[in-house]
Structure 1
Amino acid sequence: MDKALLVIDYTYDFVAEDGALSCGQPGIDLEPYIVELTKEFLADGNLVIMPVDLHEENDPYHPESKMFPPHNIKGTSGRNLYGELHNLYEENRDRIIWMDKTRFSAFAGTDLELQLRSRGITELHLVGVCTDICILHTSVDAYNRGFDIVIHEKGVTSFDPAGHEWALRHFEKTLGAKVIRS
């Protein structure tokens, strides 16, 4: 096992039509691909990690509080994984690592690097939302730590289509990531 799948922020608040900071239909459309990819990684015995955004209610000190509406608040259903991914996680809790994160990057303030290094992981596959925010910042940190990066175009989106397209180019042209195109 030398590769891991990171399913980043695929939660109700980021995906559902009535989510607090939703990507809407483009996010919903990712569900079948993300679920199947997660099943493939599990079937092959590869590591699957779910880095999930965590915020405290009315936190005036968090930088996102000034930029985005409240979302993924601790203890709310908005933090639940979206759709079938929620059920898949519940059925495989012993094989999937849930990881709370409080910044855009899944590496910031977490033990993600330790989890990966201790298992000899060298290649990270990233899916989830938002392409130009949490996927991007996690990718930059992965690049800076020497991991090989694979972005699944059919598994990422954003509420900003221009940012999504820019990030896909940035992954390839600047970070040297492999982007698996549709």
Structure 2
Amino acid sequence: MTAKALISIDYTYDFVADDGKLTAGKPAQAISERIAEVTQAAFNRGDYVFFTIDLHEEKDPFHPESRLFPPHNIRGTAGRDLFGPLADVYEAIKEDTRVFWMDKRHYSAFSGTDLDVRLRERGVKTVVLTGVLSDICVLHTAIDAYNLGYEIEVISSAVASITEEAHAFALNHFEHVLGATILP
């Protein structure tokens, strides 16, 4: 059996809560139960689970996002906390050797992290993507996964973006450009 890894991308307070610093709001909140459910199911199946979470330093003038977005997911703030029931899932499984927390600096979970090394060490051939935003961090992670030769699955009910148009674009791109399997 080929090993799989679920990659949970940026489902944090700053990206999801109404008062988050860079929130997707209602569309991201709507997947709250589903993202927790599929994460727990992946863990229960024996899959690896990676929580890849945006990390920024306060007042970092060198980070390119500083020019694009308001400060968000700042080290040491509650904005980096997992949102909703996913936080409870993480708390219940975080001590398991199949569960990882990875800080990331860029959109892609692969950029500047050792995610690829950890996946290859474990024989992972397929990555299952969940999180926010479908058209930014999830998409960039999928592109890097594609370029690195991974099979990609995206759980459409466990990813979200700010607008329906952006979300639809991302789902189309996952399937028709990256060859991802879209699961409900």
Name the structure 2 match of 1:68: 69
Deviation at residue 111 of structure 1 after TM alignment: 0.4
Name the structure 2 match of 1:123: 126
Stretches (4+) displaced over 3 A: none
Residues 110-155 of structure 1, C-alpha deviation per residue, up to 9 Å, x if partnerless?
0000110000000000010000000000000000000000011101
Name the structure 1 match of 2:78: 77
Q: Give the unaligned 5+ runs of structure 1.
A: none
Deviation at residue 162 of structure 1 after TM alignment: 1.9
Name the structure 2 match of 1:53: 54
- TM-score (normalised: structure 1): 0.97
Name the structure 2 match of 1:170: 173
Equivalence map 1:95-134=2 (5 Å): 95=96, 96-134=99-137
User: Helix, strand or coil: the match of 1:23?
Assistant: coil
**What is the aligned residue count?**
181
User: Helix, strand or coil: the match of 2:153?
Assistant: strand
Deviation at residue 158 of structure 1 after TM alignment: 0.9
- TM-score (normalised: structure 2): 0.96
The match for 2:154 among 151, 160, 164 is 151
Deviation at residue 161 of structure 1 after TM alignment: 2.7
Residues 45-91 of structure 1, C-alpha deviation per residue, up to 9 Å, x if partnerless?
11000000000001111000101111000000000000111122122
Deviation at residue 160 of structure 1 after TM alignment: 3.2
Aligned partner of 1:165: which letter? A
Name the structure 2 match of 1:2: 3
Percent identical pairs in the alignment equals: 49
Deviation at residue 94 of structure 1 after TM alignment: 1.5
> What root-mean-square deviation, in Å, do the aligned CA atoms of Structure 1 and Structure 2 show?
0.9
Q: Give the unaligned 5+ runs of structure 2.
A: none
